[in-house]
Amino acid sequence: MKLFRDIRGVTCDSRKVKPGFAFVAIQGLKRDGHEYIEDALARGASVIITEKPIDLSVDVPVQQVPDGRIALAELAAYIYDYPSRFLLTIGVTGTNGKTTSTFLLHHLFNKNGIGCGLIGTVDIDTGLKTRKAQLTTPDAVELQKYLREMVDANLKAVSMEVSSHGIELKRTYGIDFDLTIFTNVTRDHFDFHKNFEHYVRIKKSLFEQLKDNAIALINGDDPHANFISKDIKAQVVTYGFKKKNMISAENIRQKNLKTYYDLVVRNSIQTRYAKIEPMRIPIEIKLPGKHNVYNTLGACGAGLLLGLTPKQVQNISTFTGVWRRFQIIYDGDFTVIDDCAHNPGSYTAVFETVQNLTYKKLYIINAIRGNRGVKINQDNARIIAGWVKKLPNVKLMITNCAELVKEDDLVHPEEEEIFLKTLKEQGIKFEHNPELLPYFKKVLKMVESGDIILLLGAHAMDEAGKLILEEIYRT
């Protein structure tokens, strides 16, 4: 695509056009950007980029391209002077573990005096400003803007979540990743992807874009690892629990809410940044659960591959966790744990962790996942049912969070129906209340010393932790 060197900015939203901007008309999922070209011109657009032929009433440069999203990403990178080239750029993709992994990397590099930015589901930290995130992977223009802020703040690295939506919509196109981590892939996002095979294929496409001097750090225990790593140009390094992996976790022990293991490198690994000799590094983390061994193993492995020393990666021990990722929000006579479980993989990770905890009674308050379809709710209900049968002394409460939920996460009748029907078919005893807050009053009257209250669910439960704490301190 021809680059217009005199443009002052680029956008695909006509409302954001300023004089001298390029406007990229994209055929979107719900709207056609070509319908807003006249509005963009009225606001001062000096260049129009389209995906189909058009006739304009004014004389401005027009270029037709095969893919407007790629054009948008290329122009955004150009306008902000290709900032990823000046950063150690680390991407993390996978169904589960992205947020915790990026926070771990952000912590690890900053703890060792290497300024590192963060882009993901919870926060965006550019070194100049910290913002609450709106999307897991921001749109291409915002993404390049944040990377430029990091360069201007003299940061040296960035840790970035890369969602399947972000890959499919070309938001990360043209970013020079130095290392990308594949955590895992399980069933999710059927509201967006045609099927599971398409979902996995999109994940792989990120690794196909890596250059030959980049590193693909792949969870070798995942059944899709070979497919993800096959025929890519980047250097492939595997990690996981199995000894076949190039970086493995061994001698795993959990004590209360801490986990200990050995990070093992059996054979030398040479990257463009470092040569890692065979070694065994004792790792201690203030995070429970097998999934957090995977998360920290990936982060520590990435650190070693990018030049951190064994002593530096052991600073992972000072990391204290991420908002709504098995977050212990109250630890008194009883314990309250908050987790954003929202797909079979994340529910499994939570319950695998809970089964290693000591408790008298487990109160589960779970939100049905709204506006994501019947299939994911059926799958989630089956996982919950299996664990309710397995775990001792469980009381299960189901809610729609009707009084708190935003429109994008409203539970549809068919989603509620399949979720509750699946639990009933599995013979599970449960309560259902469309509203969340009555459960807090109820459970706090029943809870006793040694019990656990487990808050589970996606965005609809984002305020639940704060609200139950208010109720605890009020009673």
Angle between helices 98-111 and 290-305 in degrees, nearest 10:
50
Specify the pLDDT at position 189.
47
d(CA 401, CA 393): 24
Specify the pLDDT at position 192.
52
Question: What is the pLDDT averaged over residues 283-294?
Answer: 94
Question: What is the pLDDT averaged over residues 53-76?
Answer: 92
Query: The dihedral of CA 32, 38, 42, 44: what is its sign?
Result: positive
For residues 297 and 239, is the Cβ–Cβ distance under 8 A?
Answer: yes
381-409 confidence digits (pLDDT tens): 999 999 999 999 999 999 999 999 888 88
d(CA 440, CA 468): 6
Chain length of the chain: 475
d(CA 268, CA 225): 21
Question: What is the pLDDT averaged over residues 429-450?
Answer: 96
- Cross-strand partners of 336: 330, 453
Question: What is the pLDDT averaged over residues 258-274?
Answer: 97
170-213 confidence digits (pLDDT tens): 999 999 999 999 999 986 545 554 678 888 999 999 999 999 99
74-131 confidence digits (pLDDT tens): 999 999 999 999 999 999 999 999 999 999 999 999 999 999 999 998 889 999 889 8
Burial of 192 (0-12, 13-18, 19+ CB in 10 A): middle
**SS3 state at 331:** strand
Specify the pLDDT at position 57.
77
Question: What is the pLDDT averaged over residues 295-306?
Answer: 98
Beta strands in 19-73 (DSSP E): 21-24, 47-50, 62-64
Domains for the chain: give ranges and CATH numbers.
9-79 (3.40.1390.10), 83-318 (3.40.1190.10), 327-474 (3.90.190.20)
223-265 confidence digits (pLDDT tens): 999 999 999 999 999 999 999 999 999 999 988 789 999 999 9
- Share of residues in the chain with pLDDT > 90 (%): 83
Burial letters 258-284, b for 16+ CB under 10 A, else e: ebebebbbeeebebebeebeeeebebe
Specify the pLDDT at position 4.
66
Whether residue 462 is predicted with pLDDT greater than 90 in this model: the reply is yes
Question: What is the pLDDT averaged over residues 283-292?
Answer: 93
Specify the pLDDT at position 333.
94
The model's pTM:
0.87
Q: DSSP state, 97?
A: S
The whole-chain average pLDDT of the chain stands at 93
* pLDDT grade for 29, boundaries at 50, 70 and 90: confident
Q: What is the 3-state secondary structure (H, E, C) of 214-280?
A: CEEEEECCCCCHHHHHCCCCCEEEEEECCCCCCEEEEEEEEECCEEEEEEEECCCEECCCCEECCEE
Whether residue 55 is predicted with pLDDT greater than 90 in this model: the reply is no
d(CA 157, CA 89): 6
Specify the pLDDT at position 193.
46
